[in-house]
């Protein structure tokens, strides 16, 4: 089906939902590199989200984007539709359970939990994710992951309890199967406000994000620290066009203003080749590609 036909069919089927043609999804990503997607859809409610997913799946390729902090968007963009969750912002607390729609920022969940004396997710302070992205990636640090605190996830296909989410190190069933996460219920522990504040302060102090545009860690730590291995291969400061291995933390690639996604991709490829040559380690990406590379 031609792009125009897809667009018209989506517009006609999703009355009242914001749909944008030729959306600069690359600029939306944290790297701010890469091209456009044909169609961007901004649902504002569970019903609009479910409806959009089911309609688009029958028409053209679909991707879901949260805060765009772990994405590398192809310079050629993405031929298809992207559902952006940034307007899915409802939350509800009941006892030690907290339900957040997928577009809510993790930082805002953590703030809200602190105000309600609920503890658990403090370790994630400083991860710039949306709830959907954090659960899809099973984001984490300091040996803890967001999935540890999930009670259930409402998806395009129904509700999954934690045991069905297949959480693993920076992965989940949602990442493998590309299933849309609509909202998430977290189970927390009641705690004293001072104790939570203390934890937040100490985790914030531990965080050292290198300066500049990045997607966080590019590679997974799988039995080794990727940053240390890359550093030991002498690659700190190594560049491809406008993309550079951070001098502060070798698992971060920093994009300068003139960088392209191809520069970042080429640098990732070179790092993998050099690390394999010198250490026989096959690095695998934590960052997610959107579009063709
Ligand atoms: C400075 C910095 C520091 C970081 N530190 C950490 C860290 O300490 N630990 C860590 O784990 N990560 C870290 N990250 C990486 C990133 O923040 C996480 O991977 C985060 O979980 C991505 O969330 P997002 O909403 O930005 O997802 P996006 O980048 O938008 O998408 C990432 C993946 O999730 C999928 N996705 C997003 N929303 C949904 C949804 N509603 N339903 C289904 N799939 C969805 C996308 O399709 C894609 O596959 C860091 C990034 C930066 C820039």
Mutate to test the pocket of ligand 1, among 65, 90, 109, 291 (most ligand atoms within 8 A of CB): 65
pLDDT digits (tens, 9 = 90+) for 264-276: 999 999 999 999 9
- Give the pocket of ligand 1 (CB within 6 Å): 30, 63-71, 85, 102, 127-130, 132-134, 136-137, 139-141, 170, 174-175, 180-181, 209, 214-216, 288
Rounded distance from Cα 286 to ligand 1 centre (Å): 9
Task: Provide the pLDDT for residue 5.
Answer: 86
Q: Average pLDDT over the chain, rounded to whole? A: 97
pLDDT digits (tens, 9 = 90+) for 22-72: 999 999 999 999 999 999 999 999 999 999 999 999 899 999 999 999 999
CA-to-CA separations, 256 to 36, 184, 202, 209, 249, in angstroms, rounded? 20, 35, 31, 16, 16
Crossing angle for the helix pair 193-206 and 106-115, to the nearest 10 degrees = 150
pLDDT-derived band of residue 208, with 50, 70 and 90 as boundaries? confident
C-alpha 48/C-alpha 269 separation (Å) is 39
pLDDT digits (tens, 9 = 90+) for 211-254: 999 999 999 999 999 999 999 999 999 999 999 999 999 999 99
Rounded distance from Cα 137 to ligand 1 centre (Å): 6
For residue 41, give the nearest of 78, 73, 76 by alpha carbon: 78
Task: Provide the pLDDT for residue 209.
Answer: 87
Rounded distance from Cα 63 to ligand 1 centre (Å): 14
C-alpha 151/C-alpha 106 separation (Å) is 16
CB 65 within 8 Å of CB 82: yes
Rounded distance from Cα 139 to ligand 1 centre (Å): 7
Instruction: Give the residue, by CA position, lying nearest to ligand 1 atom 4.
Output: 216
**Considering all CA atoms of the chain, what is the largest pairwise distance in Å, rounded to the nearest integer?**
58
C-alpha 35/C-alpha 253 separation (Å) is 19
For residue 291, give the nearest of 86, 85, 75 by alpha carbon: 75
Q: Which atom in ligand 1 lies closest to the alpha carbon of residue 155?
A: 42
**Residue 1 pLDDT > 80:** no
C-alpha 42/C-alpha 85 separation (Å) is 6
Q: Which atom in ligand 1 lies closest to the alpha carbon of residue 210?
A: 1
Instruction: Give the residue, by CA position, lying nearest to ligand 1 atom 34.
Output: 133
C-alpha 137/C-alpha 140 separation (Å) is 9
Please name each of the domains of the chain with its CATH number: 3-84 (3.30.43.10), 91-206 (3.30.465.10), 226-290 (3.90.78.10)
**Residue 88 pLDDT > 90:** yes
Instruction: Give the residue, by CA position, lying nearest to ligand 1 atom 53.
Output: 215
The torsion angles phi and psi of 75, rounded to 5 degrees, stand at -60, -25
Catalytic residues: 170, 217, 286
Task: Provide the pLDDT for residue 118.
Answer: 98
Rounded distance from Cα 281 to ligand 1 centre (Å): 25
């Amino acid at each position: 089906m031609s792009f125009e036909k897809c667009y018209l069919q989506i517009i006609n089927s999703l009355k009242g939902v914001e749909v944008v043609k030729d959306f600069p999804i690359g600029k939306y990503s944290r790297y701010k590199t890469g091209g456009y997607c044909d169609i961007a859809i901004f649902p504002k409610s569970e019903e609009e989200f479910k409806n959009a997913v089911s309609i688009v799946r029958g028409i053209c390729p679909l991707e879901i984007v949260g805060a765009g902090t772990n994405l590398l968007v192809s310079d050629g963009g993405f031929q298809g539709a992207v559902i952006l969750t940034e307007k899915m912002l409802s939350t509800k607390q009941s006892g030690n359970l907290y339900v957040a729609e997928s577009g809510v920022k993790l930082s805002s969940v953590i703030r809200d939990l602190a105000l309600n004396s609920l503890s658990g997710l403090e370790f994630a302070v400083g991860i710039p994710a949306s709830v959907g992205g954090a659960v899809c990636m099973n984001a984490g640090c300091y040996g803890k992951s967001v999935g540890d605190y999930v009670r259930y996830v409402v998806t395009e296909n129904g509700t999954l309890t934690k045991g069905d989410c297949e959480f693993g190190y920076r992965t989940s069933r949602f990442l493998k199967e590309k299933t849309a996460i609509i909202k998430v219920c977290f189970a927390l522990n009641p705690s004293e406000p001072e104790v939570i504040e203390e934890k937040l302060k100490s985790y914030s102090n531990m965080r050292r994000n290198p300066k500049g545009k990045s997607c966080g860690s590019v590679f997974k730590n799988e039995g080794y620290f990727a940053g240390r291995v890359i550093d030991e291969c002498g690659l700190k400061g190594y560049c491809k066009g406008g993309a550079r291995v951070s001098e502060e933390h070798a698992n971060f690639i920093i994009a300068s203003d003139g960088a392209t996604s191809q520069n970042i991709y080429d640098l990732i490829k070179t790092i993998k080749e050099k690390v394999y040559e010198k250490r026989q380690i096959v690095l695998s990406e934590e960052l997610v590609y959107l579009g063709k590379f």
